[in-house]
Each structure stands twice: as C-alpha cells, then as structure tokens.
Amino acid sequence: MRRFFRLLGAGWGFAGMLAAHEAITTRLTWSLEISRILHRRCLPCHRAEASIPLTTYEEVRPWAKAIRDEVLERRMPPWDAAPGWGDFRDDPSLTQLEIDWIVDWVEGGAPRGKAIYAPHVPGPPAPAPVPPPRGLELSGEHRLRRAIRAAGIHAVRAQEALQVLAVHPGGLVQPLLWIPVFRQPRTYWFREPVRLPAGVRMIVEGGTIVLTSEPPGR
C-alpha cells in the first residue's frame, strides 16, 4: 500500500482533491455503499494509524480522485498475481461492479449520505501471517515423480516477473501463477487444491517457488 502514497507524490499534492462546491450527480453515497467497499478491501493497510487512513468520510474525501485512478488501473488493493492464472482465495482485488461504483461516486461529487447508514469500522486485523509453508522448492524445470495435491504456491523470489506452468503428460499446459512484477514473497493459496499427477513437468520461469500440499493455517 505504501506505493499508493509514493505515486501521489509531492508533485500531485492535493490536486486530486474534490472541490467542496462540486455538484452531486450520483445516488451512491459514502455511508451506504462506498464505505463498505473500502472497509472490506482497504482497511488491512489503511486503518486509523496508517499514513493515509481511509476509515471515515473525512479521511477518504481528500483522496477520492486518487483512489479512483488507483482502482481503475487495478494498482489498489495490491495483488501481484495476474488474473486468469490460477484461482486463489484471499484475493483482495475489486470486482468490476465495485470499481464502477467507486468511479461513479467520485465523478458524481463523492456525497457523504446519511450518517445513520454508515457501518462501524471493523476491528483490528488478523494476527501476523504464519511462516512460509513447507513443500517442494522449485526453479527452472522439474518433473514430478509422484502425484501432488497442491494447496498453494509460495513465491519465494524472482528477478522481476515470475511464471509457473504445469505441463501434463499428453501436452496439456496448465497455468498456475503469473506475477508480472514481483514485489515481495507471499503464499498464494488455491481456492480448491490442484491435482498434479506424477509425470507433470513443472516450469518455473524467473524465480523460485515452494509448491506446497500443506493446507493454509497449519
């Protein structure tokens, strides 16, 4: 999330602020719709103690146009895995509907709405993540000698981009993970375990991963 702050930069300053006299042309409001999106998607990094908190209307409104631009470019919330490569749980990416609502709200004047509809700010975030899972460390090409029921992929490191493919016997190519710009190690847990039979050729381009059959939370 700190990249969000740097992108705004000194040059941007508060040029993205909404003018107080801007006309209201939308029925979407902070209290009813937008607060719930930001609380669900943004508060893990933008709580009250953050450099730029996004918990209340007063905190959010000065950054409204910047938030619109970040979500349109899908830079926020940060999620390095490219869509269409693997189906992962805990993906914080906004849905197209959520993006549309934020854009419409900002361009419609970013109204507050009635305070009675505003939700309570969620409690503190979950405890710190567990250590990286154990499993089969892979880089380059590797043929599986036994079947694996993969629960996830821990991206250990990469030069820049990281790509993981499984080439099945018979030629089927299964894309598992693609990180166009690698920023930090993390574990990508599949929504459902991926069955990789013996003989599958694993191709890891650009870095190193740990292929784990260990369920999340262990």
- Domain span holding position 50: 2-117
Q: Within this chain, do residues 176 and 113 fall inside the same structural domain, yes or no?
A: no
Does one domain contain both 112 and 80? yes
Q: Are residues 23 and 70 in the same domain?
A: yes
Q: At what angle do helices 64-72 and 96-107 cross, to 10 degrees?
A: 150
Phi, psi of 113, deg, nearest 5: 85, -175
Q: How confident is the model at residue 16 (pLDDT cuts 50, 70, 90)?
A: very low
Supply the pLDDT for residue 129: 60
Contact in structure between 200 and 143 (CB atoms under 8 Å): yes
In the predicted structure, residue 86 carries a pLDDT above the cut 60: yes
Q: Which tokens in the block code for residue 32? A: 């009813």
Q: Which residue, of 71, 88, 117, is where some domain finishes?
A: 117
- As beta bridge partners, residue 154 has 187, 210
Residues 6+ apart with CB under 8 A from 84: 175
Chain position carrying tokens 């109204």: 111
pLDDT at residue 127 in the model: 62
Q: What sections of 62-156 are H helices per DSSP?
A: 64-72, 96-107
Q: Is residue 53 part of a domain?
A: yes
Q: Over the stretch 134-169, which tens digit does the pLDDT of each residue have? A: 999 999 999 999 999 999 999 999 988 999 999 999
Residue 158 and residue 53 in one domain: no
Cα 34 from chain centroid (whole Å): 18
pTM assigned to the model:
0.69
pLDDT at 51 over 80: yes
Question: Which DSSP state fits 33?
Answer: I
* Helix then strand then coil, % of the chain, to nearest 5: 25, 25, 50
**Residue 36 domain flag:** yes
Q: What is the pLDDT of residue 17?
A: 45
Cβ contact 45:53 at 8 Å: no
CATH of the domain at 14: 1.10.760
User: Is pLDDT above 60 for 8?
Assistant: no
Residues 104 and 200 in one domain: no
Tell me what percent of the residues of the chain surpass a pLDDT of 90.
60
- Over residues 94-115, the pLDDT tens digits come to 999 999 999 999 999 999 999 8
Contact 212, 150 (CB under 8 A): yes
**Contact of 207 with 157, CB cutoff 8 Å:** yes
> Do residues 29 and 63 lie in contact, with contact meaning Cβ atoms separated by under 8 Å?
no
CB 57 within 8 A of CB 18: no
Q: What is the mean pLDDT of residues 81-105?
A: 90
- Convert the pLDDT of each residue in 179-207 to its tens digit: 998 988 999 999 999 999 999 999 999 99
Q: How many whole angstroms from its chain centre is CA 154? A: 15
Domain boundary at 68, 88, 117, which?
117
Residues 6+ apart with CB under 8 A from 171: none
Look at residue 189 in the predicted model and tell me its pLDDT: 94
On whether both 92 and 187 belong to a single domain, the answer is no
